[in-house]
Chains A and B, each alone.
Chain A
Amino acid sequence: MSPAKFPGERDGYDAKIARCIAEVIAAIEADASFRVPHTEAERQNAFADWLAAYRSKLAPVIQAALQSELPSPFERQNSGVFQDTIENRIWPEVAQRLRSYAVRYQAGAWVRQHLGDAVTLGIPKIRGERWYVPLGVASNSAHLGQVVLDANGMVLSDLTSTCEQIREKLHGRKLSSITTAAEQQ
């Protein structure tokens, strides 16, 4: 008799979990009713209340994704393993993605007020307790700066690129592809 295998030891198990996560994220992005938190209360404690609401809403989606990836009787009937997988493997990744949308929205609001609407936002990355959102300018893939935010999505101005810094990089690169309507006259 071969020794019992646990999910973490099975071949391809990580790939199944990754597919589950991708399926849940695809469901979020397909949902036109999805909204990032718009109030400060929803953003407190690293978006805890907002995430809790989405955890409930997404529970059936996560359950269905996991069931489709782990179809064997053992995996389905072992509810402890099932719940543990959701709790420790799937939800943390989904929650982090949700936070990144919320952070990006906050960064966008800051950019809108301080920089300009040609400034592009990349994918937020978290390091420690801080979020870093890379900035660029449309028609140019260069990294021109960043918006740094705390865990609640508040912009940390001291660590965030200024308009002057971005302009310096822009003009230093002589981006002739970026023109304004006035210049096109």
Chain B
Amino acid sequence: MVENFRPLRQPPSSNSCLPTAVRAVLLWNKVQASPGEVSEWCREEPEGCVLDLALDGLREAGFDIEELIAPTEAEAQDLLRAAVTDEEDAQPVIATLLNLFLSTTQDHAVVVLNIRQGQETEREVVEYMDPLTGEIERDSSGRFWQYWYFRTDARFHSPYLNSQRRPR
């Protein structure tokens, strides 16, 4: 699991979940960056961030972005599990969620920190930092996987990313 991760909360009334998630990952990687800098790198606009543009902006700012791509949900889950539970080098992963059942809905970026078996039940628990609450949330209902947006189409990039600063 990812340890010593400091949760961050997005500014109230903002749509800055992705920049906030990115900044939290950068801080975990010991990269100091202000919210304004990260917002700029993510090319944040009043309409929010376009993930592909945000990735481009972060790469231009000197960060390595590893995109985890898989053709099926099961394989994508395995990649995500492997990334956050690696015993020697667990890494936080930014994931995109969308709740299709709300009357009005939008994407929401979170940072996945651990996936483990529940102690009291056999259900899997997904632990993630939610920029909306600024807390580490835990889901054992399976809703995380239902809301999780993964891409199977090769034209798209993967929605979850792992940002590390490239040595300059």
Interface set of A (CB-CB < 8 Å, partner B): 29, 32-36, 38-39, 101, 104-105, 108-109, 111-123, 136-139, 163, 166-167, 170, 175, 177-182, 184-185
Contact = CB atoms under 8 A, between A and B. Distances in A.
B47 A167 contact: yes
Contact of A179 (B11, B73, B100, B107): B11
Interface stretch (B111-119, B140-148, B160-168): B140-148
Contact of A170 (B46, B109, B156): B46
Nearest to A184: B11
Interface of B: 10-11, 13-20, 34-36, 38-40, 44-52, 72-73, 96, 98, 100-101, 103-109, 141-143, 145-146, 149-152, 156, 159
Given A108-B98, A184-B35, A179 B49 contact: no
A181 B96 contact: no
A33 B159 CA distance: 20
Given A178-B15, A180-B39, A119 B48 contact: yes
B14 to A, nearest CB: 6
B112 to A, nearest CB: 17
B44 A182 contact: yes
- For the residues of B in contact with A, the DSSP-based class is loop
Contacts of A105: 98, 100
Contacts, number: 134
B163 to A, nearest CB: 16
B36 A137 contact: no
Given A108-B149, A180-B44, A182-B35, A118 B15 contact: yes
Given A108-B149, A122-B104, A182-B35, A177 B47 contact: no
Given A180-B16, A184-B14, A122 B103 contact: yes
Contact of B143 (A32, A113, A163, A175): A32
Contacts of B39: 180-182
A117 B11 contact: no
A36 B105 CA distance: 16
